[in-house]
Amino acid sequence: MKNLSRGILSLCLIGALLLSACGKSDETDNLSNSEEPSNTTSQTPSTSAPQSTDTHTESLIDSADKEAIKDITAADFKKGVFIDFDKYKGSFFEENIISKVSNNLESVVENNNEKFKENLNKESLESIKDSFYYRNVDDQFMFYDLDLLEKLDQPEQIRVGVRFARKSSEGSIENQGITYFFTKNKDGEWGIENID
């Protein structure tokens, strides 16, 4: 099951890279060597997607100033959402977006597929609804930090990178990162377009 989850995550990352391969980035969002997670089970950080050069980006997390994110061990693991959203609040990362991210993360912890769908853009519902989170209901999740907060002008999009630990039914811990992609729906309201 672990290999299937890694495979799905790898395919999602490859898809995101292919979609954004139209331009090169003036800035890199990759973690520096001193910021790489020490746990060998860590996945590629959610900040690895390149950005287009003709896109204005506003970022609320400066990876150079952010302390290295520590991986969660079995002793540290607690099921739930433990992100201090208020410390990141500002500009585009306001209560509406925070509420949608928090609600979605809580749905994963609760393994509640209906709650998971609540803040998805209707157009993206079909592609996201079979998320790998619901493949193994015995897995537990601990969401513990953000590593990416940015708003792009072209295409208009908000990206929220979330760090989490997944505890399997056998007790093994995997530290990973995912990115929430928000776009506006037909009514001009922000919703979750993709989770990668």
pLDDT in tens, 29-69: 433 333 343 443 344 444 444 444 566 899 998 876 677 88
- Flag whether pLDDT at 117 surpasses 90: no
* pTM greater than 0.85 (yes/no): no
CATH number for the domain formed by residue range(s) 2-195: 3.10.450.100
Q: Say what the pLDDT of residue 131 is.
A: 56
Higher-confidence position of 145 and 37 = 145
What are the residue ranges spanned by the domains of the chain? 2-195
pLDDT the model gives residue 122: 76
pLDDT at residue 163 above 90?
yes
Give, in order, the Cα–Cα distances in Å from 112 to each of 77, 99, 124, 173.
Answer: 20, 16, 18, 21
Cα–Cα distance for residue pair 19/22, rounded to 1 Å: 7
Q: What's residue 118's pLDDT?
A: 86
Question: What is the band of 7 on the pLDDT scale with cuts at 50, 70, 90?
Answer: low
Rounded average pLDDT over 71-91: 95
Mean pLDDT of the chain, nearest integer: 76
Provide the pLDDT for residue 14.
54
* Largest Cα–Cα separation, the chain: 47
Window from 19-33, 89-103, 145-159 with minimum mean pLDDT = 19-33
